[in-house]
Structure 1
Amino acid sequence: MKLAIVGAGWAGMAAAVEAAGAGWDVTLFEATRTLGGRARALPAQRPDGVALTLDNGQHILIGAYAETLALMQRVGVSPSEALLCLPLALPYPDGTGLQTPRWATRWPAPLDAVAAIATARGWRWADRWALVRASLAWQRAGFSCAPHLTVDRLCAGLPQRVMDELIEPLCVSALNLPAAQASAQVFLCVMRDALFGAGYGGWAASSLLLPRTDLSALLPNAAAQWLRTHHNASTRLRLGARVLGLRPQAGGWQLQGSGWTERFDRVVWATAASPAAQAMRQAAHGTPTETSVLDEALNSWANTAEALNFTAITTVYAWAPGVRLSSPMLALRATPNAHAAPAQFVFDRGQLNPQDASAQGVLAFVISASEGERDELQARVLQQAAQQLGLHQLQALQTVVDKRATFACTPGLQRPSQAIAPGLWAAGDYVDGPYPATLEGAVRSGLAAARALETPPSSQR
């Protein structure tokens, strides 16, 4: 049975590993020459001429991302070596903020999170107990709420300090939307897994896992090497091969590219939402009139995917000789004028990878739900670094703006289903599921699509 996977991002690579392991004959198509999609390595150069590797966006994982961590382990990447594990903490440069005490780092969930809340520096006891009460109330409700609720309405009774220093940063980093716009139900799913779930490999679910290597090496490249090593005879990875057409053919699907056509029994479409919708729309237009049910299914799926709105993430990389933060990751304070301090977090890539001389002095500033032009955002971040970190000598290395980084995870959002049509599935962090647009969401969708392949096509209608 021949399977085509279109798109070699994290969802596509997850689907390829799972399907190849289940015995499918897999052909993986990727339009670019680089694996990883929106989470991949990016070559760069410091102002002093030293070459280095950045990423097309700074990412963070948590201990609850069991599917992603298990997949890394499966393809030969040791999570304990590739990721720096930090206990739940959102420290600010002045030392205040939420931090799990060292003596509580091995406590089971949710006691580790309770300890972090109880010892949060700069918080009043009223702040701490209000958050504990709210968390327990969410647990009693099964981490479920009315679908129309926003995060700020869910948390309406919490003190302002808790909102400013915990809820808002968590919401904007996980859902890439401010609390006033983000879905409370999806936020609760993240809180459930992070604070009350089981971690992977002995890690606490709430642990913050920061990549020590570039994102391509973290999973996509390792997955490709695993496929070559273990399933070379039944797997083909075609880089620089853009799929230009999709149409049903003899109980399967025909893919068309520049100068080639090939029939497959099953297809997993693992591109971003917009090109996926376009492909389905074109396939529907090319469907013969006698298969109008299929035409309707393709158009319906495309309609749902096209209705998604997207939000941007900007990562500003900056460098200065000898720069080192007090922690590998720091939260940055918002100001009354949000445009004056746009970044919510800063990462010290030199501390993340101390063996890499080129990474020393390199900082990554992350602006979730970013608005504005690249040069303007970069200038504001450098000014923010001077004001909040006392770093006046930083030089910009590279600023990456991903205008369609994540779908807007708003209340009551209808997301496209995994099953598109008989023998055709979608994979990506935007398909229907409990998680927002995260690496774990992408991996889960890819694995789920591959595991659905044995389902008879008639049941996918």
Structure 2
Amino acid sequence: MKQLTIVGAGWAGLAAAVAATQAGWHVQLFEASNIAGGRARSLQQSFAGKPLDNGQHVLIGAYSNTLALMRTVGLKPDELLKRIPLDLRFADGQGLSLPNWPLPLNMLAGLSRAQGWNLKDKASLMQAAWGWHRARFECDLTWTVEQLCNASRLSPRVMTQLIEPLCLSALNTPLNHASAKVFLRVLHDALLGGLGSSDLLVPRVDLGELLPNVCVEWLRTRGADIHLGTRVSATQVSALQHAASADSAVLLACPPWEAARLAADIAPKWALSCAELTHKAIATVYLHCKDVGFNGLARPMMALHSHAQAPAQFVFDKGALSEQHGLLAAVVSACTTERDDVTELVHEQACKQLGLVNVEVVQTVVEKRATLACIPMLDRPEPFVAQGLWACGDFICGPYPSTLEGAVRSGQQVVTQISQVTHR
């Protein structure tokens, strides 16, 4: 039987392990942490008897591979994810909300009722969207999202209330640095992926239960060897790679800095390309509202007016999502503020914009290297590292930014590539 050794049990590694098992490989999976999930995992801390997560992740309806993977291991996405038609409205009612209708009817309906937008704002978005569609969602490879918006003559209000939060949530990179090409790719899949592709899919359960825990059990019942809490050394990787044959391979499914460390002696140039990647942080501030009579927010997810002194872009009502009454999760994408400072600023922002008074900080989680800085012309590493050694992850060369879907697709695609090589 063919043998695949995978280092890393994040979403990419788990997707690869499932795909390899389905293809008839025996999988040996190593994970340094005691829990699977990588940068989308549950924490030991809990609230109302349920775990907190290391960040508030959101999927979209276009994440076809992730949703299919969930079904493969026996999960029911419709029960685990709350489906919300794209809704980027603020607490004051301003912003865009799209009904779950086919394009362009959903866009027309959403624009007709967008509060706080004048005719110029609405016309600029329709004109820009039509232009992007005619250009087949392609643009100058060197453009930032800001340059794309300026070329499309989008109004400042549309840029601030729609494009900026979309860009930050999808690419975790500010408008003036984010890749327009990648942004358009995400928009293409969300808008043209069929009915429901632009819907927001917000977890009703902790991230461990959303996929990683069940994945691990699915793999174990099918003969995979799972080693959690086991750190693999560069020497071990070198020995495994040296022993690799037509019937075996090693797959690095760990973060780029770990992949660089493990491959430094085997493929120095490839390792350097991983080590030189720059990253952006994401902060999630968990708040407990104790206001008398507080029964949750008007919607499970709300946009927040964001600026330097009010850094959070979105807030989630965990009471409506996961029955953790009074718990709010405020998200700061592309976070550049220190942990204590961002906590204080977000606390003040939430109280002011949501009209709350008695609010306590529960926990602030900062993933300092949450995603790649998704800049134009970014040179991402290839999946092939050296003979018998491969890599996957949301940082590997591909059309998607650092998202769960990008990680899952990378893990599945590399197994296909490895299989093609071993079948020669």
2:188 to 166, 185, 192: 192
Q: Greater shift after overlay, 402-411 or 446-455?
A: 446-455
Partner of 2:318: 349
Measured after TM superposition, the shift of residue 114 of structure 1 is 3.7
Residue matched to 1:415: 380
CA contact (8 A) 2:241 2:387 kept: no
Equivalence for 1:224: 216
Match of 1:448 in 2: 413
In the other structure, the counterpart of 1:57 is: 55
* Shift, 1:249, TM fit: 6.3
- 3-state DSSP of counterpart to 2:218: helix
In 1: Cα distance, 2:104 partner to 2:192 partner: 5
- The 3-state SS of whatever aligns with 1:39 is coil
Q: How does 1:72-83 map to 2 (within 5 A)?
A: 72-83=70-81
1:87 corresponds to: 85
Map 1:19-418 → 2, pairs under 5 A: 19-46=20-47, 50-101=48-99, 105=100, 107-156=101-150, 157-198=153-194, 204-229=196-221, 231-232=222-223, 235-245=224-234, 246-247=237-238, 252-253=243-244, 265-282=248-265, 284=266, 298-321=267-290, 322=294, 324-334=296-306, 338-353=307-322, 356=323, 359-418=324-383
The separation in 1 between residues aligned to 2:129 and 2:373, in whole angstroms, is 25
**Alpha carbons 2:169, 2:333 under 8 Å: kept:** yes
1:86 & 1:249 partners in 2: Cα distance? 46
Q: In 2, Cα distance between the equivalents of 1:339 and 1:453?
A: 46
2:61, 2:199 within 8 Å by CA — same for their partners in 1?
yes
Q: Which residue of 2 aligns with 1:15?
A: 16
| Deviation digits for residues 260-313 of structure 1 (CA, Å, limit 9, x no counterpart) | xxx98201110000010111103x2xxxxxxxxxxxxx1221121122111100
- TM-score normalized with structure 2 length: 0.94
SS at match of 2:264: helix
Work out the CA distance in 2 between the residues paired with 1:435 and 1:453: 21
Q: Deviations over 1:49-77 (max 9, x none)?
A: x5431100000000000000000011111
1:69-90 Cα offsets, whole Å, 9 max, x none, are 0000111110100000001110
1:128 positional shift: 1.2
Letter in 2 for 1:206: S
Does structure 1 conserve the Cα–Cα contact (< 8 Å) formed by 2:241 and 2:250?
A: no
The answer on whether the counterparts of 1:385 and 1:392 sit within 8 Å (CA) in structure 2 is no
CA distance in 2, matches of 1:387, 1:399: 19
Separation in structure 1 between the aligned mates of residue 58 and residue 219 of structure 2, nearest angstrom = 25
Letter of the 1:167 partner, please give it: I
Question: Residues of 1 paired with 2:46 and 2:385: CA distance?
Answer: 43
Give the distance between the partners of 2:105 and 2:376, measured in 1 at CA.
Answer: 30
Equivalent residues of 1:423, 1:457 under 8 A apart: no
Change (3 A) 1:17 1:250: closer
Deviation at 1:43, TM superposition (A): 2.7
The verdict on how the C-alpha distance between 1:456 and 1:52 changes in structure 2, with shifts beyond 3 A counting, is closer
Deviation at 1:253, TM superposition (A): 3.8
* Contact 1:31–1:242 under 8 Å retained in 2: yes
Partners of 2:410 and 2:189 in 1: CA distance = 17
What residue identity is the alignment partner of 1:426?
A
Rounded to whole Å, the distance in 1 between the matches of 2:305 and 2:407 is 30
CA distance in 2, matches of 1:250, 1:374: 40
Check conservation: 1:252, 1:264, Cα contact below 8 A. Answer: no
* Deviation of 1:320 (Å): 2.2
Q: Secondary structure at the match of 1:93?
A: coil
**Cα root mean square deviation, aligned:** 1.8
Q: Indicate conservation of the 8 Å contact 1:5/1:268, yes or no.
A: yes
Conservation of the 8 A alpha-carbon contact between 1:113 and 1:206 = no
| Deviation larger for 423-432 or 53-62 | 423-432
The answer as to 2:417 corresponding to 1:425 is no
Q: Kindly indicate whether the alpha-carbon contact (under 8 Å) linking 2:393 and 2:410 is maintained by their aligned counterparts in 1.
A: yes
Following superposition, the deviation at residue 323 of structure 1 comes to: 5.0
Aligned counterparts of 2:260 and 2:295: Cα–Cα separation in 1: 45
Number of residue-to-residue matches in the alignment: 416
Query: Which secondary structure state, in structure 2, belongs to the residue aligned with residue 3 of structure 1?
Result: strand
Stretches of structure 1 that go unaligned for 5 or more consecutive residues are 255-262, 285-297
Q: State the secondary structure of the residue aligned to 1:98.
A: coil
1:117 deviation in Å? Answer: 2.9
CA shift in 2, pair 1:316/1:250, >3 Å: closer
Secondary structure in structure 1 of the residue aligned to 2:395:
coil
Q: 1:375, CA displacement in angstroms?
A: 1.0
Asked if 2 retains the 8 angstrom alpha-carbon contact of 1:109 and 1:197, the reply is no
CA distance in 1, matches of 2:295, 2:341: 23
